[in-house]
Amino acid sequence: MSKREIVVLGGGVGGTLVANLLVRKLGRRQAHVTVIDRTGRHVYQPGWLYVPFGGPPPKRWERPERGLLSRKVDLVVGEAQRIDRAGHVVQMADGASYPYDDLVIATGAHLAPDTIPGYAEAAHHFYSPEAAVRLRDALAGFQGGKVLIGVADIPYKCPPAPLEFTFLLDEYVRKRGLRERTEITYLSPINRVFTIESVSNFVTPLLEERGIQHEEFFNTESIDPVAKTVTSMEGTELGYDLLVLVPPHRGVPLVVNSGLGDAQGWIPTDKQTLQTKAEPLLETGTSVPSPMAARRPTSKARLWRTGSLPRSPVAAMDMSTTGG
Ligand SMILES: Cc1cc2nc3c(=O)[nH]c(=O)nc-3n(C[C@H](O)[C@H](O)[C@H](O)COP(=O)(O)OP(=O)(O)OC[C@H]3O[C@@H](n4cnc5c(N)ncnc54)[C@H](O)[C@@H]3O)c2cc1C
């Protein structure tokens, strides 16, 4: 068997794991693995949840990607601009190009605040380091009032994160002696507070015990930053003093520029198997933003267990893909 040239796009959780697993399983004789990452910094995104409440600053949740990769994996720091599927080449923004036999796309999701009118001016979130710091500063100045917490759009990564934020906020305002002056409402886009019914049944009484209100079937349509109101597609209008909404997510520009995305830039997958539809691709991620994935995460270890390369030249991972 000739040596395969494998390129992994993205040095996040998915790309780092798959690159390390591939070299461990295949060894240098069977494959040469290269990770291409925009920043060369690996970010532990769950850490951003704690930043608004005075937790460690964003830098604390970053590490050099090089230190997390096997020494057998090469790392290129730079922006991949386009995938030339016909030529089996990744073209970089700086003009360089990287040929591949097999390609793994693990470039995550792109935040798209501009897709909801009023969002960029009015809403806070904790889905980027900068936004988490801004929310920390807003909370430091918060003296009570109406707080709305929810999601601007679906799909989004880490479905429990806004609920976790809600409980942390409740604790935070209690500690500051502001709970009596604070009304907290959790907005859910579906018919219960969480996608998984058993989790929802567990969490709902916990919200109610703490005096946290919940509003179901609230899918954000628009925000009026002057009137300080948010309106749902279902026709409900709610006022706020502080608005915390997970921002809209879309597929990354690289996927769009390469003609691999659907209307929102996601790589389309089969709902049942999560395999990509464009060609017989292998999906290996855990938090694919599909209704199915919300209930039953796929195994990140599938590629590893097969002990072989995917049959196709491209594998799409995690937040690059969507079922539907
Ligand atoms: C607040 C918060 C809390 C979370 N909590 C949890 C949790 O408790 N449990 C859990 O399992 N998950 C959690 N998640 C979700 C988890 O962090 C993501 O699912 C995970 O990071 C996705 O991994 P990924 O490799 O697909 O993408 P990412 O980790 O986003 O990595 C993508 C990488 O691709 C790079 N990239 C993108 N475009 C290009 C390009 N054109 N060229 C080169 N490089 C590029 C980026 O720089 C980045 O390094 C949370 C997320 C957030 C925001």
Ligand 1 atom with least separation from CA of 109: 30
| pLDDT for res 280 | 39
Over residues 19-44, the pLDDT tens digits come to: 999 999 998 899 999 999 999 999 99
266: pLDDT strictly greater than 70? yes
Please compute, for residue 74, the number of CA atoms within 13 A of its CA located in the half-sphere on the CB side. Answer: 11
Whether residue 69 is found in the same domain as residue 20: yes
Whether residue 237 is found in the same domain as residue 261: no
Residue 277 placed within a domain: yes
Residue 279 placed within a domain: yes
Query: The pTM is what?
Result: 0.89
Domain boundary among 228, 247, 266: 247
Pairing of strands 182-187, 80-84: unpaired
Report residue 73 as tokens. Answer: 């994996």
Whether residue 213 is found in the same domain as residue 274: no
Domain boundary among 225, 247, 269: 247
Contact 18, 106 (CB under 8 A): yes
Residue of 6 and 315 predicted with greater confidence: 6
Whether residue 128 is found in the same domain as residue 177: yes
Residue 236 placed within a domain: yes
CATH number at residue 91: 3.50.50.60
Q: Total domain count for the chain?
A: 2
Mean pLDDT value of segment 301-322: 47
CB atoms within 10 A of CB 230: 28
Over residues 209-224, the pLDDT tens digits come to: 999 999 999 999 999 9
Whether residue 19 is found in the same domain as residue 54: yes
Residue 150 placed within a domain: yes
Does ligand 1 come within 6 angstroms of the Cβ of 248?
Answer: no
Whether residue 225 is found in the same domain as residue 157: yes
> Among 50, 62, 107, which residue has the most ligand 1 atoms within 8 Å of its CB, making it the best to mutate?
107
Q: Range of 256's domain? A: 4-110+250-316
Contact 149, 275 (CB under 8 A): no
> Among 7, 9, 16, 45, which residue has the most ligand 1 atoms within 8 Å of its CB, making it the best to mutate?
45
Domain boundary among 214, 247, 280: 247
C-alpha span between 208 and 203 (Å, rounded) = 9
Residue of 125 and 298 predicted with greater confidence: 125
> Among 130, 149, 157, 322, which residue has the most ligand 1 atoms within 8 Å of its CB, making it the best to mutate?
157
Q: 41 alpha carbon to ligand 1 midpoint, in Å?
A: 12
Whether residue 292 is found in the same domain as residue 206: no
Mean pLDDT value of segment 188-208: 97
Ligand 1, atom 13, residue with closest C-alpha: 158
Whether residue 238 is found in the same domain as residue 153: yes
Q: Band of the pLDDT at 163, cuts 50, 70, 90?
A: very high
Whether residue 128 is found in the same domain as residue 234: yes
Does ligand 1 come within 6 angstroms of the Cβ of 156?
Answer: no
Task: Write the secondary structure of the chain as one string of H (helix), E (strand) and C (coil).
Answer: CCCEEEEEECCCHHHHHHHHHHHHHHHHHHEEEEEEECCCEEECHHHHHHHHHCCCCHHHHEEEHHHHCCCCCEEEECCEEEEECCCCEEEECCCCEEECCEEEECCCEEECHHHCCCHHHHCECCCCHHHHHHHHHHHHCCCCEEEEEEECCCCCCCCCHHHHHHHHHHHHHHHCCCHHHEEEEEECCCCCCCCCHHHHHHHHHHHHHCCCEEECCCCEEEEECCCCEEEECCCCEEECCEEEEECCEEECHHHHHCCCCCCCCCEEECCCCCCECCCCCEECCCCCCCHHHHHCCCCCCHHHHHCCCCCCCEEECHHHEEEC
Residue of 44 and 309 predicted with greater confidence: 44
Whether residue 203 is found in the same domain as residue 226: yes
Whether residue 266 is found in the same domain as residue 230: no
Mean pLDDT value of segment 240-254: 97
71: pLDDT strictly greater than 80? yes
Over residues 83-111, the pLDDT tens digits come to: 999 999 999 999 999 999 999 999 999 99
Whether residue 242 is found in the same domain as residue 257: no
